[in-house]
Amino acid sequence: MFIAAGIYNIAWGLFATADPQWLFRFAGMPPLNHPQIYACLGMVVGLYGILYLEVARVPERGWLLAAVGLVGKVLGPIGMAVLIFQGTWPLRSAILCLTNDLIWWIPFALYLRDSWKPFRESLGK
């Protein structure tokens, strides 16, 4: 699962960097004045992908990385919901959270639940 998350994030990051206006075209929003900001977001998402690959490589030491990832995957949709409910962004823009965040909640949460006790025990060493 973390291999899939890693590959997905790296691919998404590369795509967002190469075409930082895609979401705005898709959602019918005006283009960004500074698309470099969205391209930078793509870079950050891609770097998360490298961290997810590390969790897949060494799952017994990935709890903290996965926890930070899940927090981002929860906070992102909260921010998006605020933008949508305020009318700042259209509902179509929520595709961003569906593919980048919501589909990963259950697998990340299951991993964190299953690895919590070993993570806690490793802190006591």
Span 42-95, pLDDT tens digits: 999 999 999 999 999 999 999 999 999 999 999 999 999 999 999 999 999 999
Tokens read off for 28: 């019918």
In contact, 8 and 56? CB cutoff 8 Å? no
Cα→Cα distances 39→23, 35, 115, Å: 12, 6, 33
Query: Which pLDDT score is estimated for 122?
Result: 78
Sign of CA dihedral 61, 62, 63, 68: positive
Query: Which pLDDT score is estimated for 81?
Result: 97
Mean pLDDT to the nearest integer, 8-31: 97
DSSP letters for 48-67: HHHHHHHHHHSGGG-HHHHH
Give residue 69's identity as a one-letter amino acid code: G
Pick the more confident residue, 124 or 72. 72
Query: Which pLDDT score is estimated for 118?
Result: 75
Tokens read off for 56: 């897949």
Residue 105 has pLDDT above 80, yes or no: yes
Query: Which pLDDT score is estimated for 125?
Result: 64
